[in-house]
Structure 1
């Protein structure tokens, strides 16, 4: 795999074989606004395929960590948004993820979308799991990972070192290895989606796949939101029960 990276503080040029990916790493909402605006101005196709991926610090026995970064890649423009360090989520991102003009692709993207809802209340409208699309178009097994799909569909090797996969993604300053890893996951996903789309007999087939998955995506997001609300309701009920017990104890003490 041929990869190189040039660092421009919060912007990077990452070269993957012959492709150069312009990448923004930020936790600043206004820069996310700017990236979305500039990217949309360059688009000439609807629906547009967007590579989507997320990263977070690995969970342990006692802690379930929130998503640290959200990666979005369109063509050769990539955004790595450090959600965990952002003061708020910009409305432009909310609307971007819910737009009917975009199809978000990734490996096991349903799990990522569900966690986005649970951790930040962020929903994604149209999603396509690349494993299912590759199985449908090329007969590739449905449990193939991103490395296998990159090799089978693009004919390219992508490295996914375990030490980077399980690194501290919630650090405020990501390492160059983390930036490269996060960028390539989203970029390769978008390239696989584009390649599979172009292999269709007509461009409408990808739209049909997206439309059929949209209801499943919305259902998954709604289900995740419902589970989140139920967990919070259970927590509230426990707190109320604890308050009642404390009140009863106080009354007993006053009677004595």
Structure 2
């Protein structure tokens, strides 16, 4: 099977670990609502990004995506429930909505750092919602749709979703089940299907961004 997930079933209230298998990639995924684990993930990720990238030739790329409980009523706008970040084969799913101690300063600093390029599909809307809901700002955000239109030389990519871009840029097929898209992202415990979905959105954004920016 091209896509699968392994739940490590850690006996903790603060976090859990998963391995998401996507074709030949194994994505190590941390799900947490606890600031200290976010601090550690960011520190380790920054170190790896610096080690693995040549600053003179390519930017430091991080896939970004968010999820929230679907809005059932027009007058009610539900806040972002999870923030997903992916760099290399590491993914963080941070449950902001359930963070008991507030968002750590390390995340504010990481997202606003102009040396990183945060990429995603429709990322402007995600960034705006992060700012409105949590006063989080992203210093350097690039929409993969516009980037694909520029690099691939066709404006039709301006309306593409991540499924289409993954197929065109990476040659990989992915499903986006509506039952997961519209599921309860505000639940304290995410299902394995939600974790897999959220992880792959951020991971694929990162890989598509890497491929397009290297072109």
TM-score, normalised via structure 2 length? 0.90
SS in structure 2 of the partner of residue 164 of structure 1: helix
Residue deviations 1:105-141, cap 9 Å, x none?
0001000000000101100000100000000011341
Task: Give the counterpart of 2:36 among 18, 21, 30.
Answer: 30
What RMSD over aligned residues (CA atoms) do the two structures have, in Å? Answer: 1.0
Moved over 3 A (4+): none
Deviations along 1:10-67, one digit per CA (max 9) or x if unpaired, are: 0111000001000000000000000011111112324310000000000021421000
Q: Paired residue for 2:191, among 155, 162, 175?
A: 175
**Match for residue 46 of structure 2 among 40, 46, 53:** 40
Distance 2:30 2:129 in 1: 23
Secondary structure of 2:174's aligned partner: coil
Residue 68 of structure 2 is aligned to residue 52 of structure 1: no
| Partner of residue 2, structure 1 | 2
For 1:146 and 1:153, locate their aligned partners in 2 and report how far apart those are by CA, in whole Å. Answer: 10
1:59 and 1:159 map into 2 onto residues whose CA distance is 22
Aligned to 1:152: 168
How many Å separate the matches in 1 of 2:104 and 2:115? 19
- The residue that corresponds to 2:92 in the other structure is 79
Which of 76, 81, 97 does residue 68 from structure 1 map onto?
Answer: 81
Q: What is the distance in 2 between the residues matched to 1:127 and 1:11? A: 27
Q: Deviations over 1:78-101 (max 9, x none)?
A: 000000000200000000001122
Structure 1 stretches of 5 or more lacking a match?
200-256
Q: Who wins on radius of gyration, i.e. which is larger? A: 1
Range with greater deviation from structure 2 (26-35 or 7-16): 7-16
Distance 1:103 1:41 in 2: 16
- Give the Å deviation of 1:172: 0.4
> Deviations along 1:135-159, whole A, 9 cap, x unmatched?
0011341101110000000010111
Cα distance in 1 for partners of 2:133, 2:153 equals: 34
Give the distance between the partners of 1:190 and 1:28, measured in 2 at CA. 24
Once the two structures are overlaid, the 10-residue window that deviates more, 138-147 or 52-61, is 138-147
